[in-house]
Amino acid sequence: MPDAVGFAARTTLALLLAYLVAFAIQLESASSAGLCVAIVAQPTPGMAMSKALYRVLGTILGGVVGFALVSLFPQDRTMLLGAFTLWLGACTFVAALLRDFRSYGAVLCGYTVGIIAISGIDSPDGALLATLNRVAAILLGVVSVAAVNALLSHAVAYEQLVAALRQRLAAAEALAVSALTGQDLPNEPLPAQEGASILALRTDAGHAATELPDGRARNAGAQAAIAGLLGMLSASRAIATGLRLPTDAATRRRMDAAAAQLREPGPELADGQDTPQNTPLPDTLPTDLTAAALLERSQELLRQHALARDGLRTLEDGQGPTAWVSLPVHYDVVGAGLSAARTIISVALGCVFCVYAGWPGATLLLVQQAAFTALLGMQPNPSAAGVAMGLSLPAPALAAGIIGFVLLPQASGFVPFALALAPFAFAAALAARHPATARFGPGLLLYLLLLLSPANIESFDLSAFLNNVLVQVLAIVFMILAFRLILPVSPRRRLARVAGAIGRQVQRALQGRPDGYDLSAARCLSIDRLAQAQVWLGQPTPVRLAVLERLSVFTELELALRRAHAGLRALGLPMPPPEPDVLDAAARELLATDYAPAAARRSALQAAAGLHGSAVLLRQHGRALRRYGVMGV
């Protein structure tokens, strides 16, 4: 990675700064400040500040809940452990539904309760002090990361986002021109894969927003640009398919005119008046269904292109967008419930072990297991992530042993400590950014700081160190038991749930009652579902790509039905039965009717194009729809 060395240097400096201040002010939980730096550290300042924000919020809320549980059950360990386990499961459920660092904040809210309540299970009177120390350590770690980033970095996430969107827009324009001029579009990547890669930029938009004072407006611009790019992709593919059929000279001229407008879109206007949503339609709509569909799709392509350009302009100059769009996500409620169940099972196993073992490291085991279990529950494949965490333990354990029992006993003071820790921390942070070791990198730095656990008065207790190592091993064992053996993660079932959600949306659209999303939001939601399906399909093979393409066709059918429904609703007309011949007949009737107002003519064109597009897809894929259980075909 190009900034791997810079990231490792910033992380190491922020880590040493946090420890220096923690030791200077005699902070009781100095090691937590270093752990906060290791967790918050991210490649760009925007990512780091976004994660830091949710870490602070999660810590404060978790601290309040932890203090409340200790107050409610000061003498009842069973109730305290049970309440904590259920709370952690609830937080994991919420985290599994959320995205980005909001998910991390929910998980942190869960295991912070364990750090406060479980650590003080034998001394409930110290719960308030433990809460304050925890919050102070987190704030110190966050401030350290922010200070180092402010001095040594700049708005990297914002610059990368602008460059990525400009590149995507240029590629989308080239694809659209190729479609409009009748050229064959590339088969790779699949439209679903291409759309998923565009939609992934919304995460980068959220990170970039934290780097700038007017980040909210710029983030809205990025969201609009992403929605516009998705709309361009959809319209371009539809046009390319339609132009494979014979078309008349008038249609060809319209397509050439649209291509010319894409090549020379004209100056961008702050009020969005270059948006062609009021482009005059022909006085008489085309009676040919293919010609009508191409006209409607070309106008939609120009509208989405204007939306993308306007959003990119807003991202760059911060002036408010002319269109605020929504980019909804698909929620797998069943999957979130299963993640919560795995977390509860894993922590319950640890609780049972601690109760019957009478082991002196039991409290630490519960805290570590709760934290790691909840964090791994956020991963798409928590069992594989747990194995990676286990494999990353030996190296930092050896490093912590060398630092704690070979280097530090030879000298005292912060400078020798910093010189001993810095090379190992730098190497661990560097490994987190290298592609070959990226999946082990976060565990390397976390385990190093957990096992070293530096304090103002270092004990150099070998038995305590070995006990701590054993705690980490047992925590990994309990996680693997819960995630791989007792309630394993099934990519096939997760894929089936995503496919089922797509099928239900198609069925609702076939019945003439689509949900309340507008076309742009529905398109984003469909792409989000396809992106999740792509994750659960695993490594691409011809069969898996065929499944992804089939799901993509189903989403195209739903969107075509939505367009038809929107146009018909604007005209006050009912949705016809979902039979190809009936849909085409209804489309021809719409095109043959004389609509004097331009708005009505535009709605009629949209409805006719959507009806014909739906009829074509139903003829081509009716058997597949019946095979996958989509009714109404």
Can you list the alpha helix ranges (DSSP code H) found in 244-319?
249-263, 289-317
pLDDT tens string 469-489: 887 888 778 777 777 777 777
More confident residue, 310 or 490: 310
Q: 535 pLDDT exceeds 50?
A: yes
Q: 374 pLDDT exceeds 90?
A: no
Query: Average of pLDDT values for 396-418?
Result: 85
> Rounded CA gap, 191 and 594, in Å?
36
More confident residue, 612 or 75: 612
Can you list the alpha helix ranges (DSSP code H) found in 282-381?
289-317, 333-357, 362-377
More confident residue, 197 or 129: 197
Q: Which CATH architecture best describes the domain 156-317?
A: Up-down Bundle (1.20)
> Rounded CA gap, 168 and 470, in Å?
49
Could you identify the residue written with the tokens 């579902």?
A: 529
Q: 381 pLDDT exceeds 80?
A: no
| pLDDT band of 631, cuts 50, 70, 90 | very low
CB 240 within 8 A of CB 185: yes
Query: Average of pLDDT values for 350-355?
Result: 76
> Rounded CA gap, 152 and 503, in Å?
50
> What is the structure's pLDDT at 319?
74
| pLDDT band of 610, cuts 50, 70, 90 | very high
| pLDDT band of 400, cuts 50, 70, 90 | confident
Q: 632 pLDDT exceeds 50?
A: no
CB 559 within 8 A of CB 526: yes
Angle between helices 289-317 and 598-627 (to 10 degrees): 100
pLDDT tens string 314-340: 888 877 666 678 888 888 888 888 888
> Rounded CA gap, 366 and 232, in Å?
51
> What is the structure's pLDDT at 322?
60
Average pLDDT in the chain: 82
**Counts of helices then strands in the chain (DSSP H, E):** 24, 0
User: What is this structure's pTM?
Assistant: 0.84
The secondary structure of residue 181, as a DSSP letter, is T
| pLDDT band of 630, cuts 50, 70, 90 | low
> What is the structure's pLDDT at 615?
92
In the chain, list all ranges with CATH 1.20.58.
156-317
Q: Which residues 6+ apart lie within 8 Å of 31 measured at CB? A: 449, 450, 452, 453, 454, 455
Distance from the first to the final alpha carbon of the chain:
50
CB 137 within 8 A of CB 56: no
> Rounded CA gap, 105 and 111, in Å?
10
> Rounded CA gap, 294 and 296, in Å?
5
